[in-house]
Amino acid sequence: MESGIRIIDLRSDTVTRPTLEMRKAMAEAEVGDDVYSEDPTVNRLEEMAAGMLGFEAALFVPTGSMGNQVALAVHTRPGEEVVCDADSHILHYEMAAMAALSGLLPRVLITVGGFPSAGQVSEAIQPDIGYLSRTGLISLENSHNRGGGAVMEIENQREVQEAAHQKGVPVHLDGARIFNAAIALGVDVSEVAAGFDSVMFCLSKGLGAPVGSLLCGSVDLIKEARRIRKRFGGGMRQVGVLAAPGLVALEKMTGRLAEDHLTVRLLAEGLAQQSGIEIPVDPQTNILIFTVGPEWFGEKILEDGDFAGGFVRHLKENGILALALDKNKVRMVAHYDLPEDTVERTLAAVESNK
């Protein structure tokens, strides 16, 4: 049992703790050795994930980063280029893994909101000339984390897929929050996943499972991905205990994500009233990114110019955690594991600066 006022943790949806039903499922999970593909609970999760996204097969991996990196390795050969946007997770937050693990070079696109156009992608694909490195893969992200949870339109995805496929280049989706994207777009998740050669999505973000992601693709792709996962140290054994809460996440948690989108909209509406706070992109899903300027501090002078840091410190003193992305930008992420009065308490803490 918790005592006192509950901390409101808006740093990420990764902070969610497993539900009671998940914990019970973990305790009761049937298990086997998954490196031999003999864990019945993992097999069930992989089948369910593939079915929901409209793929032939899926692979359970410990993290979203590993799912993305296994995909990159499967689609490419060392020395090839991966076309990705300048704000993508694979570029920013995966420890240069594409270079360190797979010998890949990112070909970075400056885009609007994180979403390249088909024209940009087509131009970024190297022509087949002996002195140019080959383009091995295009990687998209939907919803887009550093883009403030923005959602890529299905039409835009399709055009990019066509442009890439015309030139024989596969397209991967970092769909860590694909269920949020589906809700914002008002379509089934299989529509968001359609047309990609592989899709990674996470169970351990808004869906609340303690761990795990899935990489979806064709039977052949997943067979190869299984080998690469082992090479990367991700061959797991009696891991049905971790797949079991993932099954609960897919069965019970996807349907409630719209609540998180509403929380973020209410936070955004309140924050927009504050002087010194600007919301550059209207939130579409469960992520809110906004800028904090000197006006928010009133008379107070911040010598180091770290407005986001100062804002986050003030909130922390009031029991609210948010993430400073740089000296101006703050991120808040809504999820199921927040107290009911999250919006009220957060806005009151922001105002208590006066």
**Structure token digits, residue 353:** 């600066």
Positions in 270-309 near ligand TLP (CB under 6 A): none
Q: Is 202 in the site for ligand TLP (CB under 6 A)?
A: yes
- N-to-C CA span, the chain: 34
Residue-wise DSSP of 56-123: SEEEEES-HHHHHHHHHHHH--TT-EEEEETT-HHHHSSTTHHHHHH--EEEEE--BTTB--HHHHHH
Binding to ligand TLP by residue 145, rule CB under 6 A? yes
| Window 69 to 128, contacts with ligand TLP (CB under 6 A) | 89, 93
SS3 310: helix
Under the binding rule (CB under 6 A), the answer on residue 254 touching ligand TLP is no
Cα–Cα distance, 327 to 227 (Å, whole number): 42
Q: How far is the CB of 277 from ligand TLP (least distance, A)?
A: 21
Phi, psi of 64 (to 5 degrees): -65, -40
Task: Tell the smallest beta-carbon distance from residue 173 to ligand TLP (Å).
Answer: 10
Of the residues 29, 42, 173, 176, which one makes contact with ligand TLP according to CB under 6 A: 176
- Alpha-carbon distance of 75 to 136, in angstroms, equals 7
* Interface with ligand TLP (CB under 6 A), residue from 34, 141, 197, 260: 141
Q: Which of residues 10-29 bind ligand TLP (CB under 6 A)?
A: 12, 14
Site for ligand TLP in 155-174 (CB under 6 A): 174
Q: Which residue is nearest to ligand TLP (CB)?
A: 64
Among the residue ranges 51-59, 64-72, 245-253, 310-318, the one whose residues contact ligand TLP (CB under 6 A): 64-72
Report the nearest approach of ligand TLP to the CB of residue 71 (Å).
11
Residue labelled with tokens 């006022």: 5
Q: Is 335 in the site for ligand TLP (CB under 6 A)?
A: no
* 65 is a contact residue toward ligand TLP (CB under 6 A): yes
Distance of alpha carbon 137 from alpha carbon 336, whole angstroms: 34
- Of 25 and 214, which CB lies nearer to ligand TLP in the complex structure? 214
User: In Å, what is the CA distance from 252 to each residue of 36, 255, 257, 341?
Assistant: 29, 7, 10, 23
Of 82 and 125, nearer to ligand TLP (C-beta) is 82
In whole angstroms, the minimum distance from the beta carbon of 204 to ligand TLP comes to 6
- The tokens describing 293, both together, are 């300027």
Strand partners, 215: 59, 200
Position 198 contacts ligand TLP (CB under 6 A): no
Nearer Cβ to ligand TLP (125/333): 333
Q: How far is CA 290 from CA 150, 206, 265, 268, 334, in A?
A: 13, 20, 12, 9, 14
Closer to ligand TLP by CB, 90 or 125: give it: 90
* Shortest Å distance, C-beta 203 to ligand TLP: 9
Q: CA 89, CA 343: separation in Å to the nearest integer?
A: 27
Q: Which positions touch ligand TLP (CB under 6 A)?
A: 12, 14, 63-65, 68, 89, 93, 141, 145, 174, 176, 202, 204, 213
